[in-house]
Structure 1
Amino acid sequence: MDGPFVGSEALARGALTRHELARWHRRLLPDVYLADSREPSLRDRTVAAWLWSRHRGVIAGVAAAALHGADWVDATIPVELIWNNGRPPAGLVVRNNTLHADEVTTVCGIPVTTKTRTAFDLGRYLERGDAVARLDALKRATAFKADAVLRLADRHPRARGLASLRTALPLVDGGAASPKETWLRLLLVDAGLPRPTTQLAVVESRGKRLRTLDLGWEDYMVGVEYDGDQHRSDRAQYAKDVHVKRTLAAFGWKVTFVIKEDRPDEIVRNVRDALVSRGWRP
C-alpha cells in the first residue's frame, strides 16, 4: 500500500491478511501501519496521526508549519494534533484547544491549522529562540501577517502563552535562510546592536551583485555571514567564498564570518567593533 493506512480497515476489506500485515508492515501508531520497505517521512507520520484520530484531529504546530512549506523540520519531531484525547501514544502531542472554522484549512487532503493559526500556536508553545526560528521559516514560506496573528490573540484572550507570542512576533524575519541565521540575528539584537537587514544584497557600482549577505547594515557597510560545514567539505565552494571575501573587502565592506566554534561573546564583540569603526554609536 502507498502510504500509512488503518490496519483494521485493510483487513476488513480484504486488502491483506493478518500474516501479511504483521510480516511486511511496521506499526507507526495503534492500528496505523506503513510498508516495511518505506522509511517514515514527516508527511507519513503526519498522515498517520490524522488516521489514528479517526479523521477527527487537526494537524497543528511544527508539523502544520511543514505542511505549509516551512523548511528545517526534522522527520522525527513529535506531530501535534488538536483533538480531544488525553492519552496519545508516543510521538504525538495532542491538545484540546478551541478552534474556529476559519482557523482550519486542508493541505494534502487532511485538516491543518491555517498559516495564521499555526503561527499563533508556534509563538505560544515554544521557547523564544525556537519560536522565532520556526516563525521565521513559516514567514519565509507563507508570508503570514503578524497583525492577523495578534487578532487571533484577541479572539482567544485566555489562551496559554500569549505573552510569549507577543514577545516573539516582533522579532520574526522571513529573510532568515536557516535556524542558525535566526540564532545569530537574535544574539546580536539581544546584545544591543541595531537590527540588521536579512539577505542584504551587496551591489557594485555597475549594478553587478557581489554577494547576498546573511545579515548586514548597508549604511555602515558592515555584514555578518554564518559559514556552515559546506566550506570545509566542498573545495570549490570554499575557493569561491575566499574570492568573494576578498572582493567584499576591496569594495569597502567589513564582513564578520561566523563558524559554529565561535563563542557568542566573541561574535558580538567582533560585530560591535566593526559597526563602531564605521561610525555607529551605542
Structure 2
Amino acid sequence: MIPADLPLFLYGLPFRPHQVGRKLNWLLGLGDIRQVMKGVYVDVRVPDSAELRADAMRLLTPPEAVVCGAAAAWLHGLDTTALGPTELVEAQWTREAPDVVEVHGVRVTSPISTAVELAMRLPRPFALSAVDALLRSGKADLFALRAASAAYERQRGYRQGQEVLRWADRRAASPAESWLRLRLIDAGFGRPDLQVRVDGNGRTYRLDVAYPNQPVDGRWLGLEYDSDQWHSSVKQQLKDETRRTELDALGWHIIPVRRTDLWGSYPALELAVGSFLCQQPRLPRRW
C-alpha cells in the first residue's frame, strides 16, 4: 500500500493532476515531473516504457474499454511524431472492436486493426508515417493490412486508407522520410526508392530517398532529410557537405531537405526536384 499522504510522483507512478492538487504547476516549474500523455504525469526520472504507457492509459480508460486510434498505436510503441502534430497523445477508446489484444493488461486494438484505422482516419501525411512506423516495428505486415482493409470498404476514409496502404513502406526510417515520399508522389514524380545503397570511395552510402532508375544526363537524384537534431551544428553541416561532395563525384545530385521544406505552401522542394528531372511538378501542394 502507498501512504495516502505522499504524492505518487515520489514513487515513479503515473498520476492524474487532481492527485497532487495545487502543487501540479509548482512541480512542473521545478522540472520534477513531466506529462506522459494528456492528463497524466510522472516523475522525470522515470524512463519511457511500454509498461509506463499502459499504466498511464489505465488511469484514463474504464476497465472494459478497448484503446483505439493513435492511443493504441502509442501503446504498440509508436512515437508521437509519427501520429500527429502534437507531442502528447490523448486517450481514445471504444467498447466494441473486432480484433483485440492486451498490452501490459490494457485491452487494445491489434496492430493490424490499428494501422488500418489510422490509414483511414489520420491526415494523409501522418496516416502514412504511422503505417510506415507500424510496419517498421514488425508488428504488422503490409499484405495482412491490405487484406484486413477489405472489411472497411463502406466506412468513412476507405479511399484514403487504400491510397496510404498502396504507398506504405517499412523501409522509411523516420516520419520525415514518409512525409518526403508523399510530397514527391503528390507532385507527380512517381514512387521513389528508399534506403538506396551507393558504393564508392571505399565505403557504402545510404540515401534516404532516391530515383536510381531515372538518370538525367548520366546523373541520379537523391534526397536526404536533415533533421534539426542531427544536422544543425557547424561540425555536422561540414560533414554533410563533405559527404555530398563525395556523392556528387559518384554521379549523384543530392537535394538536402529540412522540415520547413516539408510543411507549408511554398513548393521549393517540388520545383528543385522538377528542375533536375526536367518535369513540371503537379501543384499546388495537397497539404
**What range describes the TM-score normalised by the shorter chain of this pair?**
0.7 to 0.9
CA gap 1:269/1:52 in 2 versus in 1, 3 angstroms: closer
Give the Cα–Cα distance (whole angstroms) in 1 for the partners of residues 126 and 190 of structure 2: 21
Residue in 2 aligned with 1:40?
35
Which secondary structure state, in structure 2, belongs to the residue aligned with residue 70 of structure 1?
coil
Contact 1:133 1:182 in 2 (8 A): yes
Give the Cα–Cα distance (whole angstroms) in 1 for the partners of residues 59 and 245 of structure 2: 55
Give the Cα–Cα distance (whole angstroms) in 2 for the partners of residues 217 and 259 of structure 1: 19
Do residues 149 (structure 1) and 156 (structure 2) align?
Answer: no
Q: Which of 76, 88, 92 matches 1:76? A: 88
Contact 1:70 1:140 in 2 (8 A): no
Gaps of 5+ in 1: 1-13, 84-97
CA gap 1:255/1:264 in 2 versus in 1, 3 angstroms: farther
Task: For residue 245 of structure 1, report the CA deviation from its aligned partner.
Answer: 0.8
Task: For residue 119 of structure 1, report the CA deviation from its aligned partner.
Answer: 0.4
Residue in 2 aligned with 1:11?
none
Task: For residue 60 of structure 1, report the CA deviation from its aligned partner.
Answer: 1.9
Count matched residues.
246
Deviations along 1:151-174, one digit per CA (max 9) or x if unpaired, are: 333335554422221122112122
CA gap 1:229/1:23 in 2 versus in 1, 3 angstroms: closer
Which secondary structure state, in structure 1, belongs to the residue aligned with residue 16 of structure 2?
strand
Q: Which of 136, 156, 172 matches 1:140? A: 136
Which secondary structure state, in structure 1, belongs to the residue aligned with residue 79 of structure 2?
coil
Give the Cα–Cα distance (whole angstroms) in 2 for the partners of residues 248 and 217 of structure 1: 14
CA gap 1:232/1:151 in 2 versus in 1, 3 angstroms: closer
Do residues 252 (structure 1) and 246 (structure 2) align?
Answer: no
TM-score norm. by structure 1 comes to 0.73
Percent identity of equivalent pairs: 29
CA gap 1:79/1:46 in 2 versus in 1, 3 angstroms: farther
Give the Cα–Cα distance (whole angstroms) in 2 for the partners of residues 260 and 155 of structure 1: 36
Residues 76-115 of structure 1 correspond to what in structure 2 (within 5 A)? Answer: 76-83=88-95, 98-100=96-98, 103-115=99-111
Task: For residue 264 of structure 1, report the CA deviation from its aligned partner.
Answer: 4.6
Contact 2:60 2:91 in 1 (8 A): no
Residue in 2 aligned with 1:222?
221
Calculate the aligned-residue CA RMSD, in Å: 3.4
Residue in 2 aligned with 1:271?
273
| Higher-Rg member (1/2) | 1
Give the Cα–Cα distance (whole angstroms) in 2 for the partners of residues 245 and 233 of structure 1: 16
CA gap 1:229/1:20 in 2 versus in 1, 3 angstroms: closer
Contact 1:187 1:264 in 2 (8 A): no
Give the Cα–Cα distance (whole angstroms) in 2 for the partners of residues 143 and 122 of structure 1: 15
TM-score norm. by structure 2 comes to 0.72
Give the Cα–Cα distance (whole angstroms) in 1 for the partners of residues 64 and 17 of structure 2: 15
Which secondary structure state, in structure 1, belongs to the residue aligned with residue 92 of structure 2?
strand
Do residues 16 (structure 1) and 3 (structure 2) align?
Answer: yes
CA gap 1:205/1:242 in 2 versus in 1, 3 angstroms: closer
Task: For residue 237 of structure 1, report the CA deviation from its aligned partner.
Answer: 1.8
Contact 2:172 2:194 in 1 (8 A): yes
Which secondary structure state, in structure 1, belongs to the residue aligned with residue 180 of structure 2?
helix
Do residues 63 (structure 1) and 71 (structure 2) align?
Answer: yes
Residues 183-222 of structure 1 correspond to what in structure 2 (within 5 A)? Answer: 183-204=179-200, 208-209=203-204, 211-219=205-213, 220=215, 221-222=220-221
Do residues 127 (structure 1) and 123 (structure 2) align?
Answer: yes
Task: For residue 260 of structure 1, report the CA deviation from its aligned partner.
Answer: 3.6
Deviations along 1:26-71, one digit per CA (max 9) or x if unpaired, are: 85278899x9654232464653333443422222222322332323
Gaps of 5+ in 2: 38-49, 283-287
Task: For residue 243 of structure 1, report the CA deviation from its aligned partner.
Answer: 0.8
Contact 2:208 2:224 in 1 (8 A): yes
CA gap 1:181/1:250 in 2 versus in 1, 3 angstroms: same
Query: What amino acid does structure 1 have at the position aligned with 2:16?
Result: L
